[in-house]
Amino acid sequence: MNFETNEITAQVAQIARDFAVQHIKPHVMEWDESQEFPLHIFKQLGELGLMGVLVPEEYGGAGLSYFEYKAIIEEIAKVDGSIGLSVAAHNSLCTGHILNFANEEQKQKWLPKLATAEWIGAWGLTEPNTGSDAGNMKCTATKDGDNWIINGTKNWITHGKSGDVAVVICRTGEPRAKNNATAFVVERGTPGFSGGKKENKLGMRASETAEMIFENCVIPDANRLGEVGDGFKQALVVLDGGRISIASLSLGIAKGAYEAALQYAQERHQFDKPIASFQGISFKLADMATEIEAANLLTLEACDLKSKKQPVTKVSAMAKYYASEVAVKVSNDAVQIFGGYGYTKDFPVEKHYRDSKLCTIGEGTSEIQKVVISREILK
């Protein structure tokens, strides 16, 4: 691994940083309080190429690597984790699934619209009663001539109501049977496909999380991604990349909280000294900086493996697990350093604290990451 940030990565990070400060930062609490999904922001990000980061230029994307992708998510999440979450879900889940498993005709049809954010993407795996137990999903697709009929509900779906197109993993075999799921692309406006309840969340409140409901939703076989029965295998590959997304998101939140705490600790005086001069505070800052650096290196290793098309399952799970737990710990310590002010909405760390917890749950809980890691090391 080369630990130096290359020029392209640095330039892309600067673009994302400038955009976040100029267009996102002034509205963070407004969107948080109202739970507004600021669609116009994602359209602007699309114009900058930040909604099709990994998509090759031939399909209208930026054609960049996972290193640039990591930098983009981080810089946005430093300012607002919820915007970072939506950028990550659009890029790595919906768009990533089509990029990895669609045929050429399907790529030409959907990727250009997703890469430019003309269309916002959603990805449906989780259901009300099958979170980690995805092999037992209830949402089914039944073959009917040249069509498939989808019935069921997906929940906890980013852009479940506002997304223009969704990749949906449906059960096409018996519950818990091997190779019992298949992935399909469903466009908004298809009869029988609707958005359901929008969740009222602790954090990440400007990122829309909602149900997707399918009631005798008929789609053509041309919308099937890959072979019948390969849906769950495809999902695991998509989640390998998605875990790099959440690790990067976690890093951004952690860095945002740490940088705010570092600055505050040097400005806030008690007993005629900056509170950073007291070991109780300086040692907290030392732990925060060390843990962020360790999480960063794990995430960079995952990016490196992914870019080289080498096996990444173990390292991406480690990066996601460790970085997400670090985000929670660092955000918690940042609130403590701010004291009473940290508990108010006048300072940024309370939002970092609320946003951070989702990182230990979404795209595989910390407990599931331990399952993945232990399986890999015990092979």
For 6, other C-beta atoms within 10 Å of its C-beta total 12
Q: Where are the alpha helices (H) located in the chain, listed in sequence order?
A: 7-19, 28-34, 39-47, 66-79, 81-88, 96-101, 104-115, 231-267, 279-307, 313-338, 349-356, 366-377
Burial letters 250-282, b for 16+ CB under 10 A, else e: bbbbbbbbbebbbebbeebeeeeeebbeeeebe
Tell me what pLDDT residue 370 has. 98
- Catalytic positions are 363
Tell me what pLDDT residue 176 has. 84
| Concatenated DSSP letters of 273-294 | EEGGGSHHHHHHHHHHHHHHHH
For 214, other C-beta atoms within 10 Å of its C-beta total 26
In the block, tokens 């109780």 appear at 280
- Angstrom distance (rounded) from CA 348 to CA 323: 20
- pTM value > 0.75: yes
- Per-residue pLDDT in tens (0 to 9) along the chain, 379 residues: 677 889 999 999 999 999 999 999 999 999 999 999 999 999 999 999 999 999 999 999 999 999 999 999 999 999 999 999 999 999 999 999 999 999 999 999 999 999 999 999 999 999 988 877 777 899 999 999 999 999 999 999 999 999 999 999 999 999 888 999 999 999 999 999 999 999 999 999 999 999 999 999 999 999 999 999 999 999 999 999 999 999 999 999 999 999 999 999 999 999 999 999 999 999 999 999 999 999 999 999 999 999 999 999 999 999 999 999 999 999 999 999 999 999 999 999 999 999 999 999 999 999 999 999 999 999 9
